[in-house]
Amino acid sequence: MMADGLLLDGEALRIGESEARIGRRVLCHREVTSTSAVAAALAASGEREGTVVLAERQTAGRGRFGRAWTSPPGLGLWFSTILRPPIPVAGAPVLTQVAAVAVAEGIEDVAGPLPGGIKWPNDVLLAGRKVAGILTELVARGDGAAIILGVGVNVNQGPGDFPAALGGKAGSVAMAAGRAVPRADLLRALLRRLDGRYREFLAAGPGPALMEARRRSLTLGHLVRAREGEGELTGLALRLEADGALALELPDGQVRRLMAGEVTGLTEG
Protein backbone atom coordinates (compact mmCIF):
# COMPACT_ATOMS: atom_id res chain seq x y z
CA MET A 1 0.00 0.00 0.00
CA MET A 2 1.01 3.65 -0.25
CA ALA A 3 3.05 5.43 2.40
CA ASP A 4 1.58 8.65 3.74
CA GLY A 5 3.33 11.89 4.70
CA LEU A 6 6.06 12.21 7.30
CA LEU A 7 5.01 12.51 10.95
CA LEU A 8 7.50 15.11 12.09
CA ASP A 9 5.32 17.73 13.79
CA GLY A 10 5.41 16.88 17.49
CA GLU A 11 3.23 19.85 18.42
CA ALA A 12 0.42 18.68 16.15
CA LEU A 13 0.68 15.09 17.38
CA ARG A 14 0.81 15.68 21.12
CA ILE A 15 -2.07 15.14 23.50
CA GLY A 16 -3.16 18.52 24.81
CA GLU A 17 -5.35 17.50 27.77
CA SER A 18 -3.99 19.07 30.95
CA GLU A 19 -4.44 15.84 32.94
CA ALA A 20 -2.66 13.67 30.40
CA ARG A 21 0.38 11.70 31.49
CA ILE A 22 1.38 10.28 28.10
CA GLY A 23 1.76 12.32 24.93
CA ARG A 24 1.96 15.89 26.19
CA ARG A 25 5.45 16.02 24.66
CA VAL A 26 6.22 14.21 21.39
CA LEU A 27 9.73 14.20 19.98
CA CYS A 28 9.84 13.34 16.28
CA HIS A 29 12.82 11.96 14.37
CA ARG A 30 13.31 11.09 10.74
CA GLU A 31 15.57 8.14 11.60
CA VAL A 32 16.97 6.57 14.79
CA THR A 33 18.51 3.25 15.74
CA SER A 34 15.45 2.52 17.88
CA THR A 35 12.96 4.77 19.62
CA SER A 36 13.36 2.78 22.84
CA ALA A 37 17.13 3.39 22.85
CA VAL A 38 16.56 7.12 22.44
CA ALA A 39 13.85 7.15 25.13
CA ALA A 40 16.07 5.17 27.50
CA ALA A 41 18.88 7.70 27.14
CA LEU A 42 16.44 10.54 27.78
CA ALA A 43 15.00 8.76 30.83
CA ALA A 44 18.47 8.20 32.27
CA SER A 45 19.13 11.94 31.98
CA GLY A 46 15.91 12.83 33.80
CA GLU A 47 13.38 13.38 30.99
CA ARG A 48 9.87 13.66 32.39
CA GLU A 49 7.31 10.90 32.41
CA GLY A 50 5.04 10.58 29.39
CA THR A 51 7.47 11.95 26.82
CA VAL A 52 7.03 10.10 23.53
CA VAL A 53 9.83 9.43 21.05
CA LEU A 54 8.57 8.82 17.50
CA ALA A 55 10.60 7.91 14.42
CA GLU A 56 9.72 7.53 10.78
CA ARG A 57 12.35 4.81 10.46
CA GLN A 58 14.34 2.63 12.83
CA THR A 59 17.60 1.12 11.65
CA ALA A 60 17.79 -1.29 14.59
CA GLY A 61 14.21 -1.67 15.78
CA ARG A 62 13.79 -4.69 17.99
CA GLY A 63 11.17 -6.95 19.49
CA ARG A 64 11.32 -9.66 22.11
CA PHE A 65 14.47 -11.80 22.43
CA GLY A 66 16.40 -9.17 20.48
CA ARG A 67 14.63 -9.94 17.20
CA ALA A 68 14.71 -7.29 14.51
CA TRP A 69 11.49 -5.36 13.96
CA THR A 70 11.08 -4.20 10.38
CA SER A 71 10.08 -0.53 10.49
CA PRO A 72 10.00 1.06 7.03
CA PRO A 73 9.25 4.79 6.68
CA GLY A 74 5.75 5.99 5.88
CA LEU A 75 3.94 2.73 6.57
CA GLY A 76 3.80 2.21 10.32
CA LEU A 77 4.07 3.80 13.75
CA TRP A 78 7.21 3.26 15.80
CA PHE A 79 7.32 5.03 19.15
CA SER A 80 8.35 4.70 22.78
CA THR A 81 7.28 6.52 25.92
CA ILE A 82 8.88 7.03 29.31
CA LEU A 83 6.90 5.84 32.33
CA ARG A 84 7.71 6.25 36.02
CA PRO A 85 4.94 4.37 37.85
CA PRO A 86 5.21 4.26 41.65
CA ILE A 87 5.35 0.47 41.75
CA PRO A 88 8.04 -2.12 42.54
CA VAL A 89 10.21 -3.13 39.60
CA ALA A 90 8.76 -6.66 39.86
CA GLY A 91 5.33 -5.25 39.02
CA ALA A 92 6.39 -3.74 35.70
CA PRO A 93 5.49 -6.69 33.40
CA VAL A 94 1.76 -6.13 33.89
CA LEU A 95 2.12 -2.84 31.99
CA THR A 96 2.61 -4.89 28.83
CA GLN A 97 -0.95 -6.17 29.20
CA VAL A 98 -2.27 -2.70 29.98
CA ALA A 99 -0.58 -1.34 26.85
CA ALA A 100 -1.77 -4.21 24.63
CA VAL A 101 -5.37 -3.44 25.56
CA ALA A 102 -4.86 0.27 24.86
CA VAL A 103 -3.29 -0.43 21.46
CA ALA A 104 -6.15 -2.72 20.44
CA GLU A 105 -8.68 -0.09 21.51
CA GLY A 106 -6.85 2.72 19.72
CA ILE A 107 -6.78 0.76 16.48
CA GLU A 108 -10.52 0.16 16.68
CA ASP A 109 -11.17 3.86 17.41
CA VAL A 110 -9.76 4.78 13.99
CA ALA A 111 -10.11 1.70 11.80
CA GLY A 112 -13.58 0.63 12.90
CA PRO A 113 -14.92 -2.63 14.38
CA LEU A 114 -11.86 -4.84 13.93
CA PRO A 115 -11.74 -6.74 17.23
CA GLY A 116 -8.08 -6.77 18.17
CA GLY A 117 -7.03 -10.00 19.84
CA ILE A 118 -4.12 -10.20 22.27
CA LYS A 119 -1.61 -13.01 22.10
CA TRP A 120 0.19 -13.22 25.43
CA PRO A 121 2.34 -11.50 26.37
CA ASN A 122 2.71 -8.61 23.92
CA ASP A 123 1.18 -9.06 20.47
CA VAL A 124 -1.98 -7.55 18.98
CA LEU A 125 -3.49 -9.51 16.10
CA LEU A 126 -6.15 -8.70 13.51
CA ALA A 127 -7.62 -11.48 11.37
CA GLY A 128 -4.99 -13.88 12.65
CA ARG A 129 -2.01 -11.70 11.71
CA LYS A 130 0.27 -9.74 14.01
CA VAL A 131 -0.15 -6.01 13.52
CA ALA A 132 1.40 -4.63 16.69
CA GLY A 133 3.93 -5.51 19.35
CA ILE A 134 4.76 -4.03 22.74
CA LEU A 135 8.14 -4.15 24.46
CA THR A 136 8.74 -2.93 28.02
CA GLU A 137 12.28 -2.32 29.26
CA LEU A 138 13.65 -1.11 32.58
CA VAL A 139 16.08 1.80 32.80
CA ALA A 140 17.82 2.20 36.17
CA ARG A 141 19.16 5.51 37.42
CA GLY A 142 20.47 6.84 40.70
CA ASP A 143 17.15 8.07 42.09
CA GLY A 144 14.97 5.24 40.83
CA ALA A 145 13.96 3.52 37.63
CA ALA A 146 11.93 4.24 34.54
CA ILE A 147 10.07 1.89 32.24
CA ILE A 148 10.36 2.37 28.50
CA LEU A 149 7.21 1.27 26.74
CA GLY A 150 7.94 0.61 23.07
CA VAL A 151 5.13 0.19 20.55
CA GLY A 152 5.33 -0.85 16.91
CA VAL A 153 2.22 -0.87 14.73
CA ASN A 154 2.04 -1.99 11.10
CA VAL A 155 -0.42 0.53 9.67
CA ASN A 156 -0.47 0.71 5.87
CA GLN A 157 1.69 -2.18 4.69
CA GLY A 158 0.44 -4.54 2.02
CA PRO A 159 1.34 -8.25 1.81
CA GLY A 160 4.38 -7.47 -0.34
CA ASP A 161 5.87 -5.09 2.22
CA PHE A 162 6.88 -7.80 4.70
CA PRO A 163 10.00 -9.98 4.61
CA ALA A 164 9.37 -13.40 3.10
CA ALA A 165 10.44 -15.03 6.36
CA LEU A 166 7.32 -13.69 8.08
CA GLY A 167 5.11 -15.62 5.67
CA GLY A 168 1.44 -15.15 6.49
CA LYS A 169 2.08 -14.18 10.10
CA ALA A 170 2.46 -10.41 9.71
CA GLY A 171 -0.33 -8.07 8.77
CA SER A 172 -1.33 -4.44 9.00
CA VAL A 173 -4.29 -2.39 10.12
CA ALA A 174 -4.97 -1.44 6.49
CA MET A 175 -4.99 -5.07 5.37
CA ALA A 176 -7.60 -5.90 8.02
CA ALA A 177 -9.67 -2.78 7.37
CA GLY A 178 -9.50 -2.99 3.59
CA ARG A 179 -8.43 0.64 3.31
CA ALA A 180 -5.55 2.96 4.09
CA VAL A 181 -5.53 4.40 7.62
CA PRO A 182 -4.26 7.94 8.38
CA ARG A 183 -1.26 7.41 10.62
CA ALA A 184 -1.51 10.76 12.41
CA ASP A 185 -5.10 10.01 13.42
CA LEU A 186 -4.11 6.56 14.59
CA LEU A 187 -1.16 7.85 16.60
CA ARG A 188 -3.33 10.37 18.44
CA ALA A 189 -5.89 7.64 19.18
CA LEU A 190 -3.18 5.30 20.47
CA LEU A 191 -1.68 7.97 22.72
CA ARG A 192 -5.09 8.86 24.16
CA ARG A 193 -5.89 5.22 24.87
CA LEU A 194 -2.46 4.57 26.36
CA ASP A 195 -2.79 7.65 28.53
CA GLY A 196 -6.28 6.69 29.66
CA ARG A 197 -5.36 3.11 30.52
CA TYR A 198 -2.17 4.23 32.28
CA ARG A 199 -3.99 6.75 34.44
CA GLU A 200 -6.59 4.08 35.21
CA PHE A 201 -3.74 1.76 36.21
CA LEU A 202 -2.29 4.38 38.56
CA ALA A 203 -5.68 5.04 40.16
CA ALA A 204 -7.20 1.56 40.33
CA GLY A 205 -4.43 -0.94 39.58
CA PRO A 206 -4.29 -3.33 36.64
CA GLY A 207 -7.64 -5.03 37.29
CA PRO A 208 -9.80 -3.19 34.71
CA ALA A 209 -7.25 -3.58 31.91
CA LEU A 210 -6.63 -7.24 32.78
CA MET A 211 -10.35 -7.95 32.59
CA GLU A 212 -10.35 -6.59 29.04
CA ALA A 213 -7.10 -8.44 28.22
CA ARG A 214 -8.74 -11.71 29.27
CA ARG A 215 -11.77 -10.95 27.09
CA ARG A 216 -9.52 -10.29 24.09
CA SER A 217 -7.11 -13.15 24.76
CA LEU A 218 -6.19 -15.45 21.89
CA THR A 219 -4.13 -17.60 24.26
CA LEU A 220 -6.36 -18.57 27.19
CA GLY A 221 -8.07 -21.93 26.90
CA HIS A 222 -5.68 -23.23 24.24
CA LEU A 223 -2.93 -25.82 24.27
CA VAL A 224 0.29 -23.91 23.74
CA ARG A 225 4.03 -24.32 23.54
CA ALA A 226 5.86 -21.84 25.76
CA ARG A 227 9.47 -20.82 25.46
CA GLU A 228 10.94 -19.90 28.85
CA GLY A 229 14.62 -19.03 28.81
CA GLU A 230 16.38 -21.91 27.11
CA GLY A 231 13.62 -24.39 27.91
CA GLU A 232 10.25 -25.20 26.43
CA LEU A 233 6.96 -26.18 28.05
CA THR A 234 3.71 -27.49 26.62
CA GLY A 235 0.40 -27.12 28.39
CA LEU A 236 -3.03 -25.53 28.67
CA ALA A 237 -3.16 -21.75 29.08
CA LEU A 238 -5.42 -21.55 32.12
CA ARG A 239 -5.65 -17.93 33.16
CA LEU A 240 -4.13 -14.47 33.16
CA GLU A 241 -3.24 -13.66 36.74
CA ALA A 242 -3.43 -10.38 38.64
CA ASP A 243 0.22 -9.51 37.94
CA GLY A 244 -0.01 -10.31 34.23
CA ALA A 245 1.53 -13.79 34.56
CA LEU A 246 0.20 -16.63 32.42
CA ALA A 247 -0.80 -19.74 34.38
CA LEU A 248 0.04 -22.84 32.35
CA GLU A 249 -1.22 -26.32 33.28
CA LEU A 250 1.38 -28.93 32.34
CA PRO A 251 0.51 -32.49 31.21
CA ASP A 252 1.29 -33.83 34.71
CA GLY A 253 -1.22 -31.44 36.30
CA GLN A 254 1.33 -28.99 37.70
CA VAL A 255 0.64 -25.29 37.14
CA ARG A 256 3.52 -23.03 36.13
CA ARG A 257 3.44 -19.25 36.19
CA LEU A 258 5.12 -17.53 33.26
CA MET A 259 6.02 -13.87 33.72
CA ALA A 260 7.71 -13.62 30.34
CA GLY A 261 8.56 -15.78 27.38
CA GLU A 262 6.99 -16.66 24.07
CA VAL A 263 3.82 -18.66 23.56
CA THR A 264 2.76 -20.39 20.35
CA GLY A 265 -0.46 -22.30 19.76
CA LEU A 266 0.18 -25.96 18.91
CA THR A 267 -1.82 -25.53 15.71
CA GLU A 268 0.31 -22.57 14.57
CA GLY A 269 3.11 -22.89 12.05
pLDDT tens string 87-104: 888 888 999 999 999 999
Predicted confidence (pLDDT) at residue 140 exceeds the cutoff of 90: no
Residue 2 lies in a domain: no
Asked whether the bond before 86 is cis by omega within 30 degrees of 0, the reply is no
Same domain, 245 and 147: no
Residue 169 lies in a domain: yes
- Kindly give, in sequence order, each residue whose CB lies less than 8 Å from that of residue 111, ignoring residues fewer than 6 positions away: 173, 176, 177, 181, 186
* pLDDT tier for residue 269 given thresholds of 50, 70 and 90: very low
Same domain, 70 and 119: yes
Same domain, 97 and 224: no
Last residue of a domain, one of 180, 200, 215: 215
Same domain, 52 and 109: yes
Same domain, 145 and 226: no
Residue 248 lies in a domain: yes
The pLDDT of residue 11: 87
**Full residue range of the structural domain in which residue 69 is found:** 10-215
pLDDT tens string 190-232: 999 999 999 999 999 999 999 999 999 999 999 999 987 778 9
Residue 4 lies in a domain: no
Kindly report the average pLDDT of the chain as a whole number. Answer: 90
* Domains identified in the chain, total number: 2
CATH of the domain at 90: 3.30.930.10
Same domain, 154 and 258: no
Residue 118 lies in a domain: yes
Residue 55 lies in a domain: yes
The pLDDT of residue 69: 58
* pLDDT tier for residue 18 given thresholds of 50, 70 and 90: confident
Predicted confidence (pLDDT) at residue 24 exceeds the cutoff of 90: yes
Same domain, 261 and 156: no
Residue 69 lies in a domain: yes
Same domain, 98 and 190: yes
Same domain, 172 and 230: no
